[in-house]
Each structure stands twice: as structure tokens, then as C-alpha cells.
């Protein structure tokens, strides 16, 4: 019997690296009899797919369910439309915008830790890793974090999980979250479009700025602005939450590397990138082939859903030396270039620099106040299959008072 | 007078190709104009094609 795996199994979800290695060595191009889709485990096959956008499309969506026809932006569009969208979004959502949030974020994190540090213990995920990306998203959208942060967390928790759902009929929890997020975004989008129509200057929020932007005569319509808003809220939060959690879990699990980091704090950017490589919070995303293809000797019929396993590519010795070693001294430039956790090619995550910055600022501010910590209860895994990470990470330390 | 060197930014990952510096590690000499890069050249950071670069405006 040929080698197999189930993406949704406890075996995969609890220790994906073991499955990555087994499948890479024994069945690098796998078709799931249960779900009908293919998974690619070898870097060489992954690279082939992400560098050929004519053959491999995202039109059927990034998850296992075919969403062709739904309004989508960036993550569900192919060139040339995708290129125009990226140009337009990049006019607004770019490095200088992302960097502009660092001082405010540092203050926000310092405030969080001012309250947390004297307590001597926390749930790192709930108390730090969840609010930080949501605070950033509220800054991006120019909305009040105190009012919307908690709501957003509830929506995102459900909706991010739903990306990998196999159910075509969304459950009531998902529908409720989708309706909540829509009810939040729609007035923002409508107001932005009204300003555009009347010639009023756009506000500083991302949606206002995007509504006003134009590239080669193209402007975003309501569906696209809603799609982008959804995308920012869903894709920009859980992924970074997991990576912040993974960073602290990695320091607990690799005390030698943690000691090295404290000795050489200039290695922090390398450590952040290594955490993202090693843990790959999004294990994989999908492409659809526009024609019959053969990958790794396996014939794949046209219009198949193919899951590109970022996490496995990052553990392939063809891509990284000693791939299963967590090593914060890896060369930063090489790590950033090869790391597949943000995707690759034209669909590389535009928010990657923002995510890296969020993790780095949290760690810098934390270590100023809490240089030593330990896990006081076993961590609890995130329950949805889209993301791999922790739902709860319980840390404690010697509280020194304010 | 020759045109000043320009910078080109990848719209996928924000990598900047600086014509003045080239990419010596990748075999591209300093002073290589963006239009002189091979048509199949891709972003060294994310792998996006040349069409995904645009001129960086100061």
C-alpha cells in the first residue's frame, strides 16, 4: 500500500514535521482518497508550481473548496488582474506604511507588559499574541481597537479556521462570524466609496486610501474593497498570532538558542525568520492546474486542487541544510529568500514585513522586562486546521514589580 | 549625459533592485540597468517575474 496521510488527522496537526519528512521521502506527490486533492511535499515540485502562474492558477481559491466565481482579490486572482491589484494595493500598503506603525506598536506592547509583568504569569496567546496583530489591523483600518479588537478576534478565530474547512455548507458559527465581519466592514467601504464619488479627500484608513487609488485606469469596486478588508483582517491576524506564540514556544523548547539570543540580541531578526521557517504557521495553500500535468511522476488531471506544502518545503534538505535543526544563526538574507512560510512568487505575502516587525517588537519589549520565563502548564493546540500553532501557552516568571 | 541610476521595487515582496549596486552576489554587475536584466530574471527574494517590478518613486 502506498504511503498516505490525512491533513486533518491529529497525527499531522500535532507534529506536521514528522509527516512532512515521511511523505517527502516516500510519497512526495500525494492524492488524498478522502478529500480528492493533491499535496506536494518536495521543494522542487513546490518551486515548479509557484513559479509557473500560467499553468497553476489561484482562481479556485486558496483553500480546498472551489470558490471560483466568488469575489476575490490578490489571493484568488491570476495575472494580469493580480498584477494590477498588487500595484494598486502597493501604492498604499507598502514598507513605509508598515514601518510607520512601529513606534505606536512599541508603546502599545509596553502598555500591555506594564500590566502583565507584575502578575508573574500569563497566557501568552490570549494576553499578547492575539491582541497585537489586531491592534495593528485597527491602526491600518483607522478604527478604535478598544471597540473592535475583541469582536474581530471572535470573527477571525472562526473564519481563519474555515479556510481549510471541507464543508461547503458553512455552519452557523461561520455564518455568524462572516455576517459580523461584513457588518463591520461594509459601512467603512461604503463611506470610502461615497467620498470617492463626491470628490471628498480620503481618510487615512487603508480602505479609504485604496478606494482613492488608481492604476492604469483601474479602481477597486465595492466587492474588491470588501474582499481586501476581509483578507487583511483574516490573513493578517491569526498567522502573526501563531508566529508570536511559536516564538515563545521555541524559546521554551530550545533553551540553548534562547540563551544565545540573549547573549547576541542582534540575532533577533534571524531568530524571528527561523521561527517562521521552522514552524510554518500556514502549512500549505492551494493552486489549481489549468492543464494536465505530471509532478514527481504522478499524472494530475486538469482542474485539480493541489496543496503546496510550505511547511514541508522549509524542511526539505534540498532547500535548507540541517532543515530539522532550529538554528537562529542561519544567514538572514538566505533565510528570507528561501523561507516558504509567506508563500512564494507573485503571491508572496505582502504583509510579511509587518508580521516580522510585530514579532520582533513584542520580543524586544518582553525581554526588557521578562528575560527569564518557563511554561507552567502544557500548551493547548489551536483547534482549526488552517493554522498550526497554540491556542494557549502558559508562561510564568519571577515578578519584580513595576 | 547618461541617465541617473534608478531603483525598482518588487510589488510582491518590496525587494529593491538598485541599478547602481547591481547584484554582484547573483552575477549582476553594478551599473546594470533594469531593462538590461534578462527577460527571465526573477526577484531574488520572492521569485516574481520582471513584470512585477516598478520604478521606485522617491
User: Within 13 Å, how many C-alpha atoms sit on residue A281's CB side?
Assistant: 28
Q: What is the pLDDT of residues A167-190, one digit of tens each?
A: 655 678 888 999 999 999 999 999
Write out chain B residues lying below 8 Å of A50, CB-based: 47
Spatial neighbors of A47 by CB under 8 A, at least 6 apart, are: A313, A344, B47
- The pTM score is 0.95
Instruction: Give B14 to chain A, closest Cα distance, Å.
Output: 7
Please check whether residue B54 touches A, CB under 8 A: yes
Could you report the per-residue pLDDT of B10-21, keeping only the tens digit for each?
999 999 999 999
The predicted structure's pLDDT at residue A67: 87
A15 Cβ contact partners less than 8 Å away, ≥ 6 residues apart: none
d(CA A222, CA A227): 8
- Contact residues, chain B, for A336 at CB < 8 Å: 45
CB A79 within 8 A of CB A335: no
CA nearest to A83, candidates B8, B12, B28, B45: B12
* Shortest CA gap A347–chain B (Å): 7
pLDDT attached to residue A165: 74
pLDDT tens sequence across B1-57: 578 999 999 999 999 999 999 999 999 999 999 999 999 999 999 999 999 999 998
- Asked if A344 and B45 come within 8 Å (Cβ–Cβ), the reply is no
The answer to whether A86 contacts chain B (CB < 8 Å) is: yes
What rounded mean pLDDT belongs to chain A? Answer: 94
Q: In what order do the strands lie in the sheet with B7-10?
A: B16-18, B7-10, B53-55
Residue B16 near chain A (CB below 8 Å): no
Low-confidence residues of chain A, pLDDT below 50? 1
- How do A38-40 and A305-308 pair as beta strands? parallel
Nearest CA in chain B to A82: B52
Mutating which of A346, A349, A354, A355 best tests the B interface, going by the most B Cβ atoms within 10 A? A346
Asked whether this complex has an ipTM greater than 0.85, the answer is yes
The CATH code of domain A10-396 reads 1.10.630.10
Reduced DSSP (H G I as helix, E B as strand, rest coil) percent helix, strand, coil of chain A, to 5: 55, 10, 35
Report how far apart, in Å, the C-alpha atoms of A16 and of each of A9, A64, A85, A135, A388 are: 10, 18, 33, 30, 9
- How far from A265 is each of A180, A250, A259, A269, CA to CA, in Å? 42, 16, 10, 9
Task: Say yes or no for a CB contact (<8 Å) between A95 and B14.
Answer: yes
Centroid of chain to Cα B24: 12
Domain ranges of chain A: 10-396
Q: How is A107-168 classified by DSSP, letter by letter?
A: HHHHHHHHHHGGGSEEEHIIIIITHHHHHHHHHHHT--HHHHHHHHHHHHHHHHHHTT---S
Predicted pLDDT at A386 = 83
Amino acid at each position: 500500500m502506498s504511503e498516505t496521510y490525512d491533513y486533518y488527522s491529529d497525527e499531522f496537526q500535532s507534529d506536521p514535521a514528522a509527516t512532512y519528512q515521511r511523505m517527502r521521502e516516500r510519497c512526495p506527490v500525494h492524492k488524498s482518497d478522502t478529500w480528492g486533492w493533491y499535496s506536494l511535499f518536495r521543494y522542487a515540485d513546490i518551486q515548479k508550481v509557484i513559479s509557473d502562474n500560467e499553468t497553476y492558477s489561484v482562481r479556485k481559491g486558496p483553500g480546498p473548496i472551489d470558490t471560483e466565481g466568488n469575489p476575490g482579490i490578490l489571493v484568488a486572482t491570476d495575472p494580469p488582474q493580480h498584477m494590477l491589484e498588487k500595484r494598486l494595493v502597493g501604492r498604499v500598503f507598502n514598507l513605509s506604511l508598515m514601518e510607520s506603525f512601529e513606534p505606536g506598536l512599541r508603546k502599545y506592547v509596553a502598555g500591555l507588559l506594564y500590566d502583565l509583568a507584575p502578575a508573574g504569569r500569563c497566557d501568552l496567546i490570549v494576553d499578547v499574541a492575539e491582541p497585537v496583530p489586531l491592534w495593528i489591523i485597527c491602526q491600518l483600518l483607522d478604527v478604535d481597537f478598544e471597540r473592535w479588537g475583541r469582536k474581530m478576534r471572535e470573527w477571525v478565530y472562526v473564519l481563519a479556521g474555515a479556510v481549510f474547512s471541507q464543508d461547503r455548507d458553512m455552519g452557523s458559527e461561520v455564518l455568524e462570524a462572516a455576517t459580523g465581519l461584513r457588518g463591520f466592514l461594509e459601512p467603512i467601504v461604503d463611506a470610502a466609496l461615497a467620498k470617492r464619488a463626491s470628490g471628498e479627500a480620503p481618510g487615512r484608513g487603508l480602505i479609504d486610501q485604496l478606494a482613492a487609488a488608481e492604476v492604469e485606469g483601474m479602481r477597486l469596486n465595492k466587492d474588491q474593497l470588501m474582499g481586501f478588508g476581509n483578507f487583511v483582517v483574516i490573513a493578517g491576524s491569526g498567522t502573526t498570532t501563531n508566529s508570536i506564540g511559536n516564538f515563545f514556544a521555541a524559546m521554551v523548547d530550545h533553551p540553548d538558542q534562547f540563551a544565545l539570543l540573549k547573549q547576541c540580541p542582534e540575532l533577533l531578526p534571524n531568530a524571528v525568520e527561523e521561527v517562521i521557517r521552522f514552524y510554518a504557521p500556514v502549512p500549505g495553500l492551494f493552486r489549481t492546474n489549468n492543464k494536465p500535468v505530471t509532478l514527481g511522476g504522478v499524472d494530475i488531471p486538469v482542474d485539480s486542487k493541489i496543496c503546496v506544502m510550505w511547511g514541508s518545503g522549509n524542511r526539505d534538505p534540498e532547500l535548507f541544510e540541517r532543515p530539522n535543526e532550529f538554528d537562529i544563526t542561519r544567514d538572514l538574507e538566505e533565510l528570507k529568500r528561501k523561507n516558504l512560510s509567506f508563500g512564494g512568487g507573485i503571491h508572496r505575502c505582502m504583509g510579511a514585513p509587518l508580521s516580522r516587525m510585530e514579532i520582533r517588537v513584542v520580543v524586544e519589549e518582553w525581554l526588557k522586562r521578562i528575560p527569564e520565563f518557563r511554561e507552567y502548564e502544557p500548551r493547548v493546540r489551536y483547534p482549526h486546521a488552517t493554522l498550526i500553532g497554540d491556542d494557549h501557552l502558559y508562561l510564568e516568571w519571577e515578578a519584580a514589580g513595576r | 549625459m547618461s541617465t541617473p541610476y534608478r531603483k525598482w521595487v518588487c510589488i510582491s515582496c518590496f525587494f529593491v533592485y538598485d541599478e547602481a549596486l547591481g547584484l554582484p552576489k547573483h552575477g549582476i554587475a553594478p551599473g546594470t540597468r533594469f531593462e538590461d536584466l534578462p527577460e527571465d530574471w526573477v526577484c531574488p527574494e520572492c521569485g516574481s517575474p520582471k513584470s512585477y517590478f516598478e520604478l521606485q518613486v522617491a
